[in-house]
């Protein structure tokens, strides 16, 4: 059914799982010299920042470490979501 409703939470869960599985595969294959360049990871995000107030301490930060296999996992997860 093309017009059926799909939950956006399902897309988020599939993207997270696709990224994790893709990154794990990239880490496992990084030992193979021919695939080492594909498994090179980059960190993207905001460093940890702490705001100290008298009553409250707030710590914020977000970092994503991603490689090419992780991107392929995101794409595959999105394609699976579109097929559902």
Which pLDDT score is estimated for 27?
84
Question: Does 3 map to a domain?
Answer: no
The number of domains in the chain is 1
Does residue 5 carry a pLDDT above 90? no
Count the residues in the chain: 84
Residue carrying the six token digits 């999105």: 78
Which pLDDT score is estimated for 14?
94
Question: Does 1 map to a domain?
Answer: no
Question: Does 26 map to a domain?
Answer: yes
Does residue 3 carry a pLDDT above 60? no
Question: Does 2 map to a domain?
Answer: no
Dist CA 68 CA 38 (whole Å): 6
Residue 53's domain comprises 8-83
pTM of the model: 0.72
Distances (CA, A) of 9 to 3, 16, 36, 50: 17, 11, 33, 30
pLDDT in tens, 13-65: 999 999 999 888 888 887 888 777 777 888 889 888 999 988 999 999 988 88
Residue carrying the six token digits 């498994």: 39
């Amino acid at each position: 059914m093309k017009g059926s409703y799909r939950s956006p939470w399902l897309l988020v869960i599939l993207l997270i799982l696709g990224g994790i599985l893709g990154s794990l595969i990239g880490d496992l294959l990084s030992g193979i010299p021919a695939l080492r360049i594909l498994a090179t990871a980059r960190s993207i995000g905001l460093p940890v920042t702490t705001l100290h107030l008298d009553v409250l301490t707030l710590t914020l930060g977000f970092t994503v470490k991603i490689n090419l296999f992780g991107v392929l996992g995101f794409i595959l997860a999105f394609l699976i979501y579109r097929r559902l």
